[in-house]
Structure 1
């Protein structure tokens, strides 16, 4: 009975307000100078989790006050969780299945080139986010940063844009998972599979952020092993170690794998010229959606100043190995003219069209395609889990900023924002529309809504970092006072911002003048354009509407709030000592720590 009662009590409101007595400083300089060591932190604040138990706020007198953090969210994500969320959290159907269409549309050269460009963009974006999240690990990072450093109206637009992106993602991933399961021809109704997946996601969220972290850790580990295993097998196959395969034109004759595929796949590496390049560019950007979740999780991380820099560095290894290298071998093992890439049920989630599955089938080794399909299923469930986390925390943050109904501020004693999580799960029922005759049109709109949303988020992160650095310098702070700074600096953020703007421009072009436009009526072209670009008017209307209602203005650099929610108020001398230790490492260790 006691256990049941404790479980029931866990759903009661969180007892917010923890830490020790408020400690006031007469000036920002004094606030940043104490305490300087972990021991002094513990003695001064009465807790060994100073980095997460207190935040600094500006007082009316112009000084700084350390106050207990007023939030019920649990800080249960460890460095292990954060690193694996960064490594494999966003690896999903966009990589495993979405690359089928891009390989056909643009050819192998554009596929690799566009992914390299997006990799070049996403790395400084994540590092800029890491810098912001280290010093301000606040709930709903992206919209909160936009509100604080740019314009409250833009923060409103970005917050709801990001919430909508993940809110519609859950039914899409449920649908994807059911289609992936159908690869094994199971005589189970698809609706039953949706119900099963629903139960799995609900159970995970019962355990709060710890459940999210543990599931993502396990799923990311399996995805990483799957991709690494694929790369190793691909190397062996391309090198001729997997033996000979039947000649597709003469099955009785055995030939080497490269004579059939590798030597011919790159003979004509380009398709559809600039339109092919543009289409692949957009799809490549969408395949990285969710990379920014590591910043959203900062508010529930045990020690963001230590965990986030390491997690950001993991992104480099991920984009190089898990995306570019794996796709390079895919282009060697699967031809862009393979009809199987465009077959299937037309949903865009059919694993039978996955170039990873086809590559393993082409090798002639049985059962491996089933293994990679299982990895795809795990990926879909991982993204479904991430969608509940992303949408619920964003909605909770919007409520805390008074940009959403106050009911979504509610957090129970286990750190679960129950109303926000409940709404996220409720939207998952949209997946049952697959039984409707209009399911194709509904899901097209959902995909369109989530389409450019990620690009707007990434562009906003870069812009927020640029604005933050301007305010940081304007108010007299130095670069050395940052708990952690992106090695790419402002140049990286400008590069990321420009590339994201180019993606939006290219998306407008390729959707206005799509491949095969001559076979479409003006009405069909207009509808297709609006469906694919619907997130653009959503963001613009949200921003303009909020601008009119809130009467907000762009935040001046001199007026930016650089104190509220700020953690790790360490002196520049203390931070420099840490950096000196890092600089003293041998070169091999610096490279290892940066990549791994």
Structure 2
């Protein structure tokens, strides 16, 4: 089906939201309308008048004041007037684009230095295993509920309002801090070519205008830009993998066979002499891996603006994991074979210093000229891409948080214009992004460190919330006499996969507390602790403050009271079951290799 036909079909979809199920609190069915206006320029007006009109707010009907808080949240997020312009290719590249950035190209260098090549692989492989479960669980929820705010609303809806409040604030703080962080990173990257520091603010201004300009073009402009950015990054990583294999096998200009030299004495595969020391250094990789992998959840956030989430989200969820696992694990394996963890160049001035990129070091060390500059250009593009994704994510989160009551209404951050742009939220991000102009200040290093601290564990808390929401959704289905046979997409890792990810993330957060309080080779100190663990106390303060304010002492919403219907784009459950059964029957007639491919990809 072509994009035009798909978009036309999407416009014709019935916009009635499935009624909320009855329970002790909600005894009556409530008919809801997802009042999305399809605004088109008027032929009777000039181009300038239509341009001005496009910035006017979309009218959304007032809700019944007698509805409960939970009902209002479900309805508001379900009928948000964001435009459904993202295609499958956009969704896949948005997730890949958000996850391939400075965390891979530059941040992996600090992980290599601190834990050795084997430690890096162990940390990233374990992280990839639970991310598979997170992405699959998120895919299941996002297909069923393509609503405003995506996964940021699931915790409030399926777990508990206080948990959702804390998780959303934690994720929002991570997003808004990463924007100036990435722009400062880009300005530092140009130092590789000897650019004077006095021009750093000029580069910040350039990156600032590009990122904000892309987001003002609306969701389609954002999707196309991210598609191009991600193709460039993926091409760079694939090119490095091919080059890395050639260099390891001795095909470089020096003609030396490298093999596993960097894993042997005097270099070594691990950092540390004892098992306890090596374990502690490996644990330090998980925070870096979380920062590097953060962005895989963007497909769930973009579901509300997807043209056909039932078809596009499952493919994006499964393929994103395999692609990122391939890029990270294979690329980092080659980096560990080509660069010694004792190389002085890995120290760098900051995690944004392109000269400290192990990819650049690997190429320079083996006598290849020209390519290091190409990689640094890609690093700049990667930084722009991640900053771009953060503006998109943060602006949509702010809209959903106002709709859920987690941000005050008077902020108008839920203002969405006729082009589907959250203008006030974008304006807020534009103002906050001005912090990046600290790049030319002597205090730039300190600001950079604390912005990084705010975003450090945010991804882990987000992934934990996604998996916990999936668990609670499945329990609610069972408690209300429903089953997975009515789901458009069932997570391949299932309920146990979400339990696995929750348990593993909880263990990692607990052990990170230990490594942050008693770091390897340094004495315990408050600055080091909070630089690594600042997100955790923020989460706890937000959670318990909301509990006290709301006087809500329940840890979970009872399974029988969880709303599992409002916001579904497919309103006829029986017809949906019949369609799913037919699709499964057709798939069963296909060859084994085809069925295996569809299951995994």
Alignment-derived partner of residue 134 in structure 1: 143
**Mapped partners of 2:78, 2:135: distance in 1:** 26
Q: Given the superposition, is the C-alpha separation of residues 68 and 561 from structure 1 closer, same or farther in structure 2, using an over 3 Å criterion? A: closer
Alignment-derived partner of residue 545 in structure 1: 545
- Of 230, 244, 247, which aligns to 1:237? 247
Residues 1:313 and 2:292 are matched in the alignment = no
Q: Check whether the contact 2:114–2:281 (CA below 8 A) recurs between aligned residues.
A: yes
- Of 356, 366, 369, which aligns to 1:366? 369
Alignment-derived partner of residue 387 in structure 1: 390
**Mapped partners of 1:435, 1:219: distance in 2:** 27
- Of 451, 455, 459, which aligns to 1:454? 459
**1:435-475 deviations in whole A, cap 9, x for unaligned?**
33332222221111111111101001111100110001111
Q: Check whether the contact 1:147–1:155 (CA below 8 A) recurs between aligned residues.
A: yes
**Mapped partners of 2:260, 2:319: distance in 1:** 36
**1:21-45 deviations in whole A, cap 9, x for unaligned?**
xxxxxxxxxxxxxxxxxxxxxxxxx
Q: Given the superposition, is the C-alpha separation of residues 239 and 550 from structure 1 closer, same or farther in structure 2, using an over 3 Å criterion? A: same
Q: Given the superposition, is the C-alpha separation of residues 495 and 444 from structure 1 closer, same or farther in structure 2, using an over 3 Å criterion? A: same
Q: Given the superposition, is the C-alpha separation of residues 145 and 67 from structure 1 closer, same or farther in structure 2, using an over 3 Å criterion? A: closer
Alignment-derived partner of residue 436 in structure 1: 441
Cα offset for 1:566? 1.7
Residues 1:567 and 2:569 are matched in the alignment = yes
Q: Secondary structure of the equivalent of 1:517?
A: coil
**1:266-304 deviations in whole A, cap 9, x for unaligned?**
962010312211112221222101111110000110011
Cα offset for 1:15? 4.2
Q: Secondary structure of the equivalent of 1:258?
A: coil
**Mapped partners of 1:494, 1:91: distance in 2:** 27
Gaps in structure 1 of 5+ consecutive residues: 18-57, 246-254
Alignment-derived partner of residue 53 in structure 2: 9
**Mapped partners of 1:265, 1:205: distance in 2:** 50
Q: Secondary structure of the equivalent of 2:100?
A: coil
Alignment-derived partner of residue 278 in structure 1: 283
Cα offset for 1:402? 1.8
Cα offset for 1:318? 1.7
Q: Check whether the contact 2:117–2:269 (CA below 8 A) recurs between aligned residues.
A: yes
Alignment-derived partner of residue 190 in structure 1: 200
Cα offset for 1:87? 3.3
Q: Given the superposition, is the C-alpha separation of residues 594 and 179 from structure 1 closer, same or farther in structure 2, using an over 3 Å criterion? A: farther
Q: Check whether the contact 2:75–2:567 (CA below 8 A) recurs between aligned residues.
A: no
Cα offset for 1:221? 0.6
**1:512-536 deviations in whole A, cap 9, x for unaligned?**
0112224xxx6xx122212321211
Q: Given the superposition, is the C-alpha separation of residues 306 and 227 from structure 1 closer, same or farther in structure 2, using an over 3 Å criterion? A: same
**Worse-matched range after superposition: 267-276 or 110-119:** 267-276
**Mapped partners of 1:211, 1:339: distance in 2:** 42
Alignment-derived partner of residue 155 in structure 1: 164
**1:529-577 deviations in whole A, cap 9, x for unaligned?**
1232121111111111111112233310000111111222343222111
Q: Check whether the contact 1:166–1:450 (CA below 8 A) recurs between aligned residues.
A: yes
**Mapped partners of 2:265, 2:385: distance in 1:** 32
Alignment-derived partner of residue 409 in structure 1: 414
- Of 354, 357, 378, which aligns to 1:354? 357
**Mapped partners of 1:517, 1:192: distance in 2:** 38
Q: Given the superposition, is the C-alpha separation of residues 300 and 92 from structure 1 closer, same or farther in structure 2, using an over 3 Å criterion? A: same
**1:213-266 deviations in whole A, cap 9, x for unaligned?**
1111111111111100110111122222334x1xxxxxxxxx514179557589
Cα offset for 1:67? 12
**Mapped partners of 1:278, 1:367: distance in 2:** 36
Residues 1:223 and 2:233 are matched in the alignment = yes
Gaps in structure 2 of 5+ consecutive residues: 1-44, 62-66, 273-277
Cα offset for 1:180? 1.0
